[in-house]
Chain A
Amino acid sequence: MSKLRLEDLYRIKGQVLRTNLMEPEKKTIRVTVHMGTCGISSGADKVLALLQEELKRSGREDVALTTSGCAGICNQEPLVTVERLNTEAVKYAQVTPDKAREIFQRHVLGGSPIAEWAFARGWEQPEKLFDGGPDPEMGAVPGIASLDFFGRQELRVMRNRGITRADSIDEYIATDGYFAAAKALFQMSSQDIIGEVKSSGIRGRGGAGFPTGLKWQFAAASKSEVKFVLCNADEGDPGAFMDRCVLESDPHAVLEGMIIAAKAIGAGQGYIYCRAEYPLAVKTLNQAIDQAREYGLLGSDILGSGFEFDLEVYRGAGAFVCGEETALMTSIEGKRGMPRPRPPFPAVQGLWKKPTVLNNVETLASIPQIILKGAKWFASIGTATSKGTKVFALTGDVRNVGLVEVPMGIPLGDIIFDIGGGMATGKKFKAVQLGGPSGGCVPVAHLNTPVEYESIVKLGAIVGSGGMIVMDEDKCMVDVARFFMEFCVEESCGKCTPCRVGTQQMLNILTRICRGQGREGDLESLERWAVFIQNSALCGLGQTAPNPVLSTLRYFREEYEAHIRDKRCPAVVCGDLFESPCQHACPAGMDIPAYVALVRADQLEEAYRVLLKTNPFPSVCGRVCDYVCESKCRRATLDEPVNIRYLKRFITDNAPRPAPAPKAPARRERIAVVGAGPSGLTAARELVLRGYQVTVFEELPEPGGMLRYGIPAYRLPREVVAGEIKAITDLGVELKLNTRVGREIGWEDVENDFQAIYLAPGAHRSLPLGIDGENLEGVVGAVELLRQLNLDQNPPVGRQVAVIGGGNSAVDAARSALRLGAEKVTLLYRRTREEMPAQVEEIRAAEEEGVELELLAAPIRFAGAGNRVEGVVCQRMSLGPFDSSGRRRPLPIPGAEFWVPADQVISAISQGPEAFIDQAKGNGEIGFDAKGLILVKEGSRTRVGQTLVFAGGDAVTGPGKVIWAIADGRAAAEEIDAAIRAKNGEPAFEPPAEEEIDIPATIDEAVTEGPRAQMPELEAGERRGSFAEVELGFTREVALAEACRCLRCDLKEVAEEGAEAA
């Protein structure tokens, strides 16, 4: 092949385009297999081999089978694109060889696309080589641009991804490749090029974000016969693979960028420093360099311009530090890759002490388009200081894992939730790690942050080279920090003391914390080390190594403290801190593996006794718990979590409750408990068991609090509540019903008669909406309505009922209203279903029963005729930016108002405590927050002030879940007991020897994957007009089978012994 002249570029471009436009006598069908490393590792090579075989067998000459690089969406590999003349391209995802055969037969040869396997139609961007109209058979398959993942991207650096062949220089030329180099060589001076790059505003994409044009200017100004252009392709951040994609899909873009850079600074030789772990990239690059040399695009007299420049690939052995520019150069020089001090900067003294420009792959791949299309074009998107696009490797717990190229300035949350499709696990988003080991974790409160250099730095992270690791609530941030620190320890070159020793010391502290051996002062030590390393380490690796620790300390300090002080890992990750994840997750610390094992062994009475050790309300919790335990169940990594809640209920349904032995008071102190809800009664029980005399004051005629008066009987039958409470009163707890402290009995009397007080009055008052018409007749609060209902007062309901809110109370009120005879119940919620706080089963059940959901609707005012409500004026909402909880904030759509007719409106937006205690206790020792919630002392869970007054449950936390109230009650009992003993100078409480219950250690050898057991329910039709319990309980067979699904994470030692034996 002879060396090209300028005009040859046009000739080749024309040729390729003509061939690819598929003149009728030539090929009319093109099949592309996407063969990036990601594709190959998913089996794209097998798919390609099969297609080649099929093609050969078919003998068809109108079919072109070709390859291309990564198409961007990693978890859909292998991808195959099929184009037929005059129809739209079809992308098939997750293609297996079997599917490929079928696709070849039916679509390629037969002409009928397989709609059910198709992933999308069309191309990601308009500059495709080959186009056609939509295929009528592909109706329901989305066009690729309508998929958020593709549609919201702006492909510049990756413009050729998945389209052109990486091994064809002609195809690169056909996409205007090397035209920029030609322009730079023939029409532009060095200063022109630098000027263009400077005014484009492009900044180094490798991480530091230094203005590229400025870097080039410095190198151009350095006087030397010999200069170098280097490409940093030593991509090493964990979870980052942007550069690999560019190198594998579009290597010539990098080559062209380097030619332009060489012309700009006057270099004659370049090196691409590529890690050896990217064998395909190295191969592709070498191939590209050979092709370019053959075409005379590298070497002497490029395109006849007289300019000389050549390139070589230098393979790095995979040391992370060699991504640091001075270490990279030292490595090319043949020495151990260790950083050297700057200044002198590489632009003055770089490789072999000659002026050198080092740019990252993405930067260099951006250059040709800046030269060809102009700085203005490049700067047309982005923010004031961050121009153009940035490629991110979006990974972690996000639904769409892949490479995304987005305009600078796009909100972080948009990348994660729109492009990334949100959490793959369905769990809550917790943080996103940006910038790898030099970066930091950005928490949920900052999802609106525009992705640009300065804004991200303000958050304590960096844009970095583009690693974006999304983490859900199951990730422990201490563990994450430990992981990154471990990485830095492994990768520190060992040259400078602060990095070498400091990272080890920090890792030791972090490891200790994760093992539950954290100490007071550890966080301060970490901070001290971090500042020390930042300020004294030699190179960027060291100076930024503490960043992940600092950023997690900044946003998740309480998580560190939980590890250190409470020996708890809130995310339930650090295995040294717990026996089993479910038990660690349970606020009351219930011994779940034990009772599940006992169910399996059919020892239900023993199981019941296990339940009662930590929870006096197991029957209740078997029905209405929010089961955080199940969210951490390891079985979910296999199929679905064990149905723990219903197994608990199965125990209490099927075994007699162990009869409590009444406790005779052993101590003289008397304790008052205000409120006979789950929190108060739990505290009372615990205190009686510790020998105290306890009196519970309850305003309402029956004990149980929200269990009795808030939750409707179809979810929680009253006899279940009454039974559990009886077991408590049978122990010797004294109940004073119909007695409100401050009304029936004076606060001072309580203070005088009792040595300690536990306030657990709950939150029994609906909070007002604060809109017009709230005082109209027919507008009620959900709590009030449910209380009336549970007082057997048969509250009147309307014909058309509107319920406002999305929590459990709202759903309870809606379902109750239906049962009470409402014809139509509409639930108005201002966000979408995903954001509804109510439990998903409750929402589903409500819909089954006929409750209509009106989502993205917010009430503006209630209107009525005269005094009586007739309906709600609603505002249609749309989801806007993220709020601090990570949910999208509902924003009104101007002018979009609508009318919901209703003769009754139930407001269920939130509840607060009744403001009675501050009247009773005027000295101000009990503090309240703005919502009227009782404030507890810092460092304590329930203690309120200096005197022995304690508080817990909903009155402290706001409306919460019953298990938390129970946990508060237990904590209160412990703290009250400890406070009294401390006051008396007694030793700490020693729990009596626990009854020994043998927990069987049966584990299945093999695990069969399968769904969890479903709870049988009343038919939806039978539910209307009845408050009979909806959930019917497990049968013995179902319960045993479900119990067998438990993986018994608590049996660590057995497992370890087993492993040793094996």
Chain B
Amino acid sequence: MTDKPQIKLTVDGREVNVEEGATILEAARKLEIRIPVLCHHPALTAWGGCRLCLVEVDGASRLVASCVTPVRRGMEVVTTNQRIFDTRRMIIESLLTERNHFCMFCAQSGQCELQDLAYEHGVDHLTLPYLGQEFPVDVSHDFLAVDHNRCVLCGRCVRACSELVGASVLSQINRGGRSMIGVDLAGGLGESSCVSCGLCGQVCPTGAIFHRQRTHTAVLGKRRDFQVVESHCPVCGLLCPTLNYVKDNNLVRVESPLPGAEPLRGQLCRRGRFEPLESSGRQPVRPLVRNSKGSLSPAGLEEALDAAAGELGRLKEAEGEEAILGLISSQCSNEELETFRSFLESFFPGACLDTLDGRFFRALTAAGNGQGEGFKEASLKALTEADLILQLGADPERTHPLVGALIRRAVFENKAEYLAIGPGSLPGPWTKMNLDLGPAQTALFIRELGSKLDRSQEAAGIKGEGMPAREVWKALSLLKAARRPLILVGEHLADQADPAAGFKAVIGLARLLGARSGGELPLIILKPAGNSCGAWSLGVANRETPAGTSGFKGGLIWLSGEEDLPSAGLTDGPTEAGSWTVVSSRFREDLGRLAKVFLPKAGWLETDGTYFRRDDGAGLFKPRVLEPSPELAPFREILNGLAQRLAAGEWTAERKVTSPEPAHPAAG
């Protein structure tokens, strides 16, 4: 509830009360009166450029743009009459004749706002001559193409890029009829500072910015020939909501619901928007079995399961259960994690179970325990409120791109100071300090900061070997001046001999900076994978550090998406070809080379399940986007098949699932 005064006005003869400061468009919408818009977008600031939303106010001859004009007491608004209709039609025709809007050849036909408006206003032919200026087409970007000939200069992409993404890559350049959308200072999108989030393409009302990956997939004249499936992206743990455009059980496009909630405002990053489309092109469905000559060859599921069960049994027999490692990705849903654990515990109780990010969590836990008590992390929203962001050993631009967006917005909107220290960084001209230190050096740096900040400790000279003293002092003075500092930590900090050392220092520093309301430390720890929280809290990740590489002679690798093994800490397991018994994945057929048996299974797009949200740990139900291919075995079926072969009838996946109730199940 706000205490703003209410303004009474009439729209098309009907009275309405709206808050002071509301626009005419908002008043009309309250009455459910439709006013066409083009440059207006609910997630973006008002622009007033396209002029389609013109309405008549108090009978004046000059029309006003309803999307930007605030209401006035007693205003009499007319939203439709012949003159207004003709003007709007002229605007639509102006746009259609200004550049190339031959819908037939446009990737967006059928999902184009300009096209819709033209139909709505009965533009079945043009009364104006074409202007015929030619503009470049930019295909330098991996995912996006920009056809300036289809641009209507609504400026939505420009606003989205600066207001939501904070990247400000796009702007309008040139004047008059030669105006176009410019990228950085010049050049193509592919060579630009673009963060490839794709939001510009999503807000583009026409086919000016479109996805290269699925061009023309859904073009069918006036019809939009696809379903939209609401789901979530499980890749990085922000669990962003997604709108998945599906045609014939193929994923055509991924968008985000706009306007979205703070702090992310409905963005989606490169990983959530483009990568699912990248991978869904190559989908192995046939299992692979290593033959007697040592090479992998296709096999039927039964044959492969036989082989896998045989290999596992042989391994257990020859080396003992302790030599078996079950490694599961934390991108998997709670159900998958649970089932996998249950399977392993039932058949190989002595085997080691771990997640790809287990090492990270063990380091973190060790650090937390070292301090004697647990702590509460800050929510993502704290990023947008911070006036100083100290990034330590994190690479959000790569691992959590939307966190990068929040940092940029903090810098541009709040004039926050941004310091990036340690491996992984988000460099930019606006980075106050960008120090490329190794993990151990970073830990030292943090300790130095802590000791200088803590008055109880002796404040002497810089102690650390090779510490850049100037930077320490500079960071310290900035930290002292900051009113709402925030520390952002990533997994790189754990990449050292004492994985917990960095985290210990960080937690200490965060405590020195003081807790926020609700006991939150000013600290955000970027978890490596989409369901890291789930894997940890369900106890799938091993609490104890598993034995060294030499201890394991084989086992199972269980993946959900496109996880990369080496960077996820597979140093703990064998990496030679054929050294793993079973690899099961939807996407990583290439990983089959590590295994004796490769078992394709449904990936996260085709699986529904529960995930734990990063901020509040609440469970979230992620519906599946695609129907799994009938040739593809679901994860339960594979495990059941193995179970049957290992010990018939004693274990089934369904029975063993004990998934917690999701706290906030997403609407189906």
Contact = CB atoms under 8 A, between A and B. Distances in A.
Interface of A: 319, 321, 336, 338, 340-341, 343-344, 488-498, 500-505, 508, 532, 534-538, 543
A494 B176 contact: yes
Contacts of A538: 48-49, 51, 65
Contacts of A505: 94, 97, 128-129, 131
A910 B154 CA distance: 65
Interface string B50-78: 11101000000111010011100000000
Interface stretch (B167-175, B531-539, B578-586): B167-175
Given A341-B68, A537-B51, A543-B62, 18 more contacts: A341-B46, A491-B176, A494-B174, A494-B176, A495-B47, A495-B153, A496-B48, A496-B49, A497-B52, A497-B152, A498-B90, A498-B91, A500-B98, A500-B153, A501-B95, A501-B177, A505-B128, A538-B49
Contacts of B129: 505, 508
Interface string B437-459: 00000000000000000000000
A532 B63 CA distance: 10
A200 to B, nearest CB: 30
Given A498-B91, A536-B54, A538-B48, A504 B131 contact: yes
Nearest to B54: A536
Contacts of B46: 341
Given A495-B153, A497-B95, A535 B63 contact: yes
A536 B153 contact: no
B571 interface: no
B131 A341 contact: no
B87 interface: yes
A495 B176 CA distance: 8
B6 interface: no
Q: Which of B49, B65, B129, B152 has the most CB of A within 10 A?
A: B49
Given A341-B69, A505-B94, A493 B51 contact: no
Given A508-B131, A536-B51, A502 B177 contact: no
Contact of A490 (B49, B50, B175): B175
B155 interface: yes
B87 A493 contact: no
Nearest to A525: B128
B545 interface: no
A39 B272 CA distance: 65
B176 A489 contact: yes
Contacts of A336: 171-172
18 contacts: A492-B175, A492-B179, A495-B153, A496-B51, A497-B51, A497-B94, A497-B153, A498-B91, A504-B176, A505-B97, A532-B87, A532-B90, A535-B61, A535-B63, A536-B63, A536-B91, A538-B48, A538-B49
Contacts of B172: 336, 338, 494-495
B176 A343 contact: no
Nearest to B178: A494
Contact of A491 (B48, B49, B153, B175): B175
B159 to A, nearest CB: 12
B358 to A, nearest CB: 48
Q: Which of B62, B90, B98 has the most CB of A within 10 A?
A: B90
A543 B54 CA distance: 14
Secondary structure of the B contact surface, majority rule: loop
A502 B54 CA distance: 16
Contacts of B174: 494
Contact of A343 (B69, B90, B131, B171): B69
Contacts of B179: 492-495, 500
Nearest to A534: B62
Nearest to B68: A341
Contacts of A508: 129, 131
Contacts of A535: 61-63, 87
Contacts of B63: 535-536
B556 to A, nearest CB: 56
A532 B90 CA distance: 8
Contacts of A503: 176-177
A507 to B, nearest CB: 9
A492 B87 contact: no
Interface in B372-421: none
Contact of A501 (B61, B68, B94): B94
B183 to A, nearest CB: 14
Given A501-B97, A535-B61, A340 B48 contact: yes
A501 B126 CA distance: 15
B70 A344 contact: yes
A859 to B, nearest CB: 53
A396 to B, nearest CB: 26
Given A494-B177, A536-B91, A501 B51 contact: no
Contacts of B175: 319, 321, 490-494
Contacts of A490: 175-176
A497 to B, nearest CB: 5
B473 to A, nearest CB: 31
Nearest to B52: A497
A110 to B, nearest CB: 57
Interface in B81-108: 87, 90-91, 94-95, 97-98
A534 B63 CA distance: 9
Nearest to B98: A501
A500 B154 CA distance: 12
Contacts of B176: 488-494, 500, 503-504
Q: Which of A491, A498, A536 has the most CB of B within 10 A?
A: A536
Q: Which of A319, A341, A343, A491 has the most CB of B within 10 A?
A: A341
Contact of B70 (A343, A488, A495, A534): A343
Contacts of B47: 495
Interface in B105-153: 128-129, 131, 152-153
Nearest to B56: A535
Contacts of B131: 501, 504-505, 508
A341 B94 CA distance: 21
A319 B46 CA distance: 23
Nearest to B46: A341
Contacts of A338: 172
Contacts of B91: 497-498, 536
Contacts of B171: 336
